[in-house]
Amino acid sequence: MDFDPAGLTYNEAGLIPAIAQDSKSGEVLMMAWMNQEAVAKTLSSGHVTYWSRSRQAFWVKGETSGHRQKLIDLRVDCDRDALLLVVEQTGPACHTLRRSCFYTSVVSGQEVELMAPEA
């Protein structure tokens, strides 16, 4: 069956959450938003393209930093309203230069940083 990005369920802003996961370690790297065209661009280029809500523009991950995400697999959840992007990550995924955007844990009501930025 051919995949059509139009068959996904987008929110009222025309966006769908996309979770990036490292293809080798299984680590969750980040969550960002995609619109229908970003999904199509990602599939055609093989490099992940997100939609920047603040800039109202496409954002090819790593285009300026070099911290690219090569698409290995795109998975659709059962409700068709969220995506899992299995990627080969080059460099840190987070704009804070940490491997993952999920570097803060809440322990006994306190925020604890789990990892330092990469050098």
Kindly give, in sequence order, each residue whose CB lies less than 8 Å from that of residue 4, ignoring residues fewer than 6 positions away: none
pLDDT in tens, 10-64: 999 999 999 999 999 999 999 999 999 999 999 999 999 999 999 999 999 999 8
How crowded is residue 20: how many other Cβ atoms within 10 Å of its Cβ?
25
In the prediction, which pLDDT does 119 show? Answer: 66
pLDDT in tens, 34-43: 999 999 999 9
Domain ranges, ordered by start, for the chain: 5-90
Full-model pTM? 0.92
How crowded is residue 28: how many other Cβ atoms within 10 Å of its Cβ?
15
pLDDT band at 118 (very low <50, low <70, confident <90, very high): confident
pLDDT in tens, 75-88: 999 999 999 999 99
- Quick one: CA torsion of 115, 50, 85, 28, rounded to 10 degrees? 10
Q: What CATH number labels 5-90?
A: 3.10.20.810
Residue 95's nearest CA partner among 56, 47, 57, 63 is 63
Rg (CA), the chain: 15
